[in-house]
Structure 1
């Protein structure tokens, strides 16, 4: 049995999107099982915001940084339309009704149950963050899921048969137990590696463990 790299990941996180090509390469290069552990965004999960509506500097920096990082990586980056969570970006207030994020996160859980969590995360996040407008309409989501080798209707039907929110909550508790709260966080042998730019540090650790294929 291969060692496991647990990936705590959110569909609302641009940095989670940016790490997906590296996760596929990690799986190709190392004798490890890369497992998607989807969590809700912290604005939903912890009922709190990282931003102060009176001080926009943090959100301005993140928007600049993710655009810069995407350019550095050669990846497309556009703010999602619609946003995976319904939130006022001036007050940062989160709406009670959330028509997207719970379904997306649940799809990630079911995809991982079928051994294709990272594949679905890659396909769907590239659609959402790669400039597809109105990704929630028509066959956009269905086609993205199909490109990961999965069927959207089958996933939706499977999710209805068990308590998927309990699995999401378990992922969130495991993230906290690993010593972090943010995404993406990769955990190997109990050691957390937070951030898209820590993937090289994780590869270094895997090399130390002689896990390169």
Structure 2
């Protein structure tokens, strides 16, 4: 019997990126279906989060993500442009956000088609994998194609149904919090949350207790 798990995920989260290819590998190695559930990043949900956080927070986070990426042999570079427009010096989030809403809505449109994980995997490799100008040219179009999707179709849906998609995205956030967490990436299996890219092995262990089998 195919087991199912939810993954709650954000395009601005470097740890989501670091976990994604492992989530993809799980679906290839095991009889497991992952339901990708996109949420807006903290910068949108709590715009003053970064201004209130400890001064060392950003510095340590960047040190850690590049360390983890090096350890796991995953390409990583600061996003250019950042999916969230933010003044790094003041940590203030801009009122003008040209990227994150369209990206997340297109992700949710991909999830409607059962290909949210594939879309997240391919697009996050652009954003966090060192592709400068990932939002320009045909980068996103080719990423969508690799995920088995048509970018123009996703974009049209994102522009035509922002309220419906945002309602689903808000529902994802509610489901994440109902499962017992608030951050991403979080894998939820049978109501149990496993937060972070460093909890994937423990999630596998739990799912194997419940009958997870190799393909």
| TM-score where L is the length of structure 2 | 0.94
1:199 partnered with 2:177 = no
42-51 or 72-81, which moves further after superposition? 42-51
Partner of 1:87: 86
Partner of 1:168: 169
SS at match of 1:7: strand
CA distance in 2, matches of 1:4, 1:117: 14
1:111-141 residue CA offsets vs partner (Å, 9 max, x unmatched): 1111111111110000110101111111111
Partner of 2:120: 121
From the superposition, tell whether residues 47 and 159 of structure 1 become closer, same or farther in structure 2 (CA, over 3 Å): same
1:179 partnered with 2:180 = yes
**Contact 1:36–1:112, Cα closer than 8 Å, also in 2:** yes
Which structure 2 residue ranges, 5 or more long, are not aligned? none
**Contact 1:5–1:33, Cα closer than 8 Å, also in 2:** yes
Give the root-mean-square deviation of aligned CA atoms.
Answer: 1.4
SS at match of 1:146: helix
Partner of 2:6: 6
Task: Give the length in aligned residue pairs.
Answer: 212
SS at match of 1:36: strand
| TM-score where L is the length of structure 1 | 0.95
